[in-house]
Amino acid sequence: VDEITHFFSLNKVKYLPTIKNTESSGGHKINFYIGLKAISEVITHEVELKNDSANTSQINIEYTVPQLPKAPTWAKFLLNFKISGWKFYTYISLPLLALAVGYSLLLWNYYSLSYFSLIYLISFLMIAVSFYFWLKPFYEAIDKRIGIAPYWLVRLSVISAQLRYVRTATKRDNGQYIRALQLVVYQAECPICSNRVLIEKGSNAQRGRLVGVCDESPREHVFSFDHVTKKGMLLR
Ligand SMILES: [Zn+2]
């Protein structure tokens, strides 16, 4: 009977049919009938506890933006402006322009190779490569809406900052919001060891993502990061 009761309680059955009898009230006649017997609540509680422990095995984290860090004065022109109209097209056309200049320099070298043309090509390549590394974080932030801010944009007191490509209140003619680049710092308290969690670029399995990494256990306390919901969960 115990096994049957347990089986039914697992399937959320609360009562079992059972044979009952009326009490003999003075006379000799006893009536038997089929009644319901409540399954002990202890068993159902055990099942609920199992469900609860399954839910809590997922560890969640919530990020906050405690501060909007100030960029160094000389870098302010890069931020704080609304990217629209010609500025937006500059962002797109800059790599294309570099490609066109590089290709024409290459052609020049191919048809009339001289020290002069070679110096032009090499110096152009050096400028292009340094521009690539300088502007890459900005392109990433514009493309993915959020990226890691370059270290030269952040004051030394800030360990890790992000570049966010935020919507402004105004819309463009085509109905899309005008966006602007903004420097932010997302951080959180580690739900496992309550140390500081900072946003970093994910590596290996987390490649291409931004992840929250714990200061104290950077290999194991790694959390997903969504800058829209400001939430995440333990990744390993
Ligand atoms: Zn931790």
Domain boundaries, the chain: 2-56, 62-233
Residue 164 Cα to ligand 1 midpoint, Å, equals: 25
Residue 196 Cα to ligand 1 midpoint, Å, equals: 7
Q: Residue 63: its pLDDT value, please? A: 94
| Residue in this structure with the two tokens 């009490």, named with its chain if needed | 23
Confidence of residue 50 (pLDDT cuts 50, 70, 90): very low
Q: Residue 52: its pLDDT value, please? A: 47
Give the ipTM.
Answer: 0.96
Residue 10 Cα to ligand 1 midpoint, Å, equals: 37
**Amino acid symbol at 10:** L
> Whole-number mean pLDDT of the chain?
80
Query: How many C-beta neighbours within 10 Å does residue 79 have?
Result: 16
Q: Residue 76: its pLDDT value, please? A: 67
- The answer to whether 153 touches 162, Cβ cutoff 8 Å, is no
Tokens of 157: 């007191």
Give the separation between CA 76 and CA 79, rounded to whole angstroms: 5
**Could you give the percent of the chain with pLDDT greater than 90?**
23
Q: Residue 75: its pLDDT value, please? A: 66
Where in the chain does DSSP place strands (E)? 15-21, 32-38, 60-62, 64-67, 82-83, 146-148, 162-171, 177-189, 196-201, 210-214, 222-224, 231-233
Residue-wise pLDDT for 183-220, tens only, equals 888 989 999 999 999 999 998 888 999 999 999 999 99
- From 163, 157, 154, 158, select the one nearest 136 (Cα to Cα): 163
Q: Residue 210: its pLDDT value, please? A: 94
**Could you give the percent of the chain with pLDDT greater than 70?**
78
Residue 74 Cα to ligand 1 midpoint, Å, equals: 36
Residue 216 Cα to ligand 1 midpoint, Å, equals: 5
Give the separation between CA 199 and CA 138, rounded to whole angstroms: 17
